[in-house]
Amino acid sequence: MSEKLSDLEAQMHGLGARARDAATKLSHATPADRTKALQAMAQRLRAAGPLILAANEEDVARARENKQTAAFIDRLAVDQKRLEGMAAGIEQVASQPDPVGAVMAEWTRPNGLRMQRVRTPLGVIGMIFESRPNVAADASALALRAGNAIILRGGSDSLQSVNAIVAVLREALNESGLPGDAIQSVASADRAAVGMMLAGLSGTIDVIVPRGGKSLVGRVQEEARVPVFAHLEGVCHTYVHAGADPQKAIDITVNAKMRRVSICGATEKLLIDRAVLADLLPPIAQALESQGCELRGSEEVQAIWPMERATSEDWRTEYLAPILSIRAVENIDEAIAAIGHYGSHHTDAIITEDAAAADKFLNEVDSAIVMHNASTQFADGGEFGFGGEIGIATGKMHARGPVGAEQLTTFKYVVRGVGHTRP
């Protein structure tokens, strides 16, 4: 093992141990302590605007030198408006109920033992993200709301920006009497640091949350030895049932696909009941094309509206672009089967006025979020009222759907007796 790797290991394990200590202290703080610290974080972020913008300018200048794309630089850049967005986001999280200490259930046993299931913080969150510096502020706020410490590892391109933001947030914690080490960022740009985080830093990291492209998330899911809250992709379906209201079918489909094509909740596949295909495909296709959407369809769909032929690859592809593939289904059972087969268990919607069909769809589709007469673009922690989200999970364990503060908790059983011994 090289000397350099040993240094990095020592550095990373020190960081993990400090995070664990900070998490223990945080878990003993009160909800009011955490709210005060969150408010201080927002205030300090605003006050430190010039400092953060200057650090970000360095990152942006280097990205330009490295000939990064305009889209990349747009994700990286922080201006006054985005800075205010971060501060307001933290205030929004501060105004959310604190989940820690909530009694989730309580009951008394026939022998008089009193039982409670009580929410507790998860511990230490490892956040691995790419170029958007605002993730550092958003994720730190949600972690803190639930009494957790966080270790942030952004892309090397945003290192100056993330370090500046983290320094400000740590000052706010210290000022509020909470441990600054509850928020730390990995100083090294060495990719080996990510591998150490995925191995859990000797048991100090409780969960990894990756935010970024499919290759990052895929690597994390493949290599992590600790639990991961993530979705690899959002192959979201909108299903127009025979009982759909035509105008709702048009409006929802267009919004679900085109409002923002690059988010994980954007619809990528449209299923239409064969019985209404000839009636509903033309107005839906026309509305989508008028907004610049490229359509790809099965032969049956092509026969009604001219478009590219969808390949077998298309049915599984998350485009994150203004492209939609369309197929007809015989009935709701075929639609549910297609979603189970080709979807990614993220978010899927049915458009119908038929209550029994809606209930069947909502019951039988095994996705994190199932919707009736609503756009899949609502798949978002803010839209759910969670005061933001650290990510969206498609796994079945622990957290599923938008991951807000409440999903960053675990629980323990508190048992109160009066001298109870077990017979």
What residues make contact with its own copies under the rule CB under 8 A? 24, 27-28, 101, 107, 109, 113, 115, 120, 122-123, 206-207, 227, 245, 247-248, 251-252, 254-256, 259, 340, 358, 362-364, 366-375, 377-378, 383-385, 396-398, 400-402, 410-422
CB 206, min distance to its own copies, A: 6
Query: Residue 299 class from Cβ within 10 Å (0-12 exposed, 13-18 middle, 19+ buried)?
Result: exposed
Instruction: Please give the radius of gyration of the chain, using alpha carbons only, rounded to the nearest integer.
Output: 24
Please, which residues bridge with residue 183 across strands? 150
- Compare residues 27 and 92 and give the one whose CB is closer to its own copies: 27
Q: In the complex with its own copies, which residue's Cβ is closer, 162 or 371?
A: 371
- At closest approach, how far in Å is the CB of 258 from its own copies? 10
CB of 21 to its own copies, least distance (A): 11
Residue 84 vs 245, nearer CB to its own copies: 245
Q: Write down the least CB distance from residue 356 to its own copies, Å.
A: 14
Closest separation in Å from C-beta 300 to its own copies: 27
Q: Quote the least distance from Cβ 418 to its own copies, whole Å.
A: 6
- What's the rounded Cα separation, in Å, for the pair 405 and 125? 12
Question: Is the Cβ of residue 70 or residue 107 nearer to its own copies in the bound state?
Answer: 107
How far, in Å, CA of 234 to CA of 256, rounded? Answer: 12
CB of 309 to its own copies, least distance (A): 29
CB of 114 closer than 8 Å to CB of 106: yes
Closest CA to 337 of 239, 250, 234, 231: 239
User: Do the Cβ atoms of 391 and 132 come closer than 8 Å?
Assistant: no
Of 314 and 348, the one with the shorter C-beta distance to its own copies is 348
**HSE, side-chain direction, 13 A CA sphere, residue 24:** 6
Residue 257 C-beta: closest distance to its own copies, Å: 11
Residue among 301 and 369 whose Cβ is closer to its own copies: 369
- Closer CB to its own copies, 130 or 206, in the complex: 206
**Residue 84: burial class (beta carbons within 10 Å; 0-12, 13-18, 19+):** middle
Rounded CA separation 154/185 (Å): 8
Q: Compare residues 57 and 245 and give the one whose CB is closer to its own copies.
A: 245
Q: Which residues of 108-122 are buried (b: 16+ CB within 10 A; e: fewer)?
A: eeeeeeeeeebbbbb
Cβ distance to its own copies smaller for residue 107 or 312 = 107
Given phi > 0 = left and psi -120 to 50 = alpha, else beta, which region is 212? left
Min CB(176)–its own copies separation in Å: 20
Residue pair 198/210 in contact (Cβ under 8 Å)? The answer is no
Write out the two tokens for 385.
Answer: 């009222």
In 3D space, the residue among 188, 32, 167, 12 whose CA is nearest the CA of residue 98 turns out to be 32
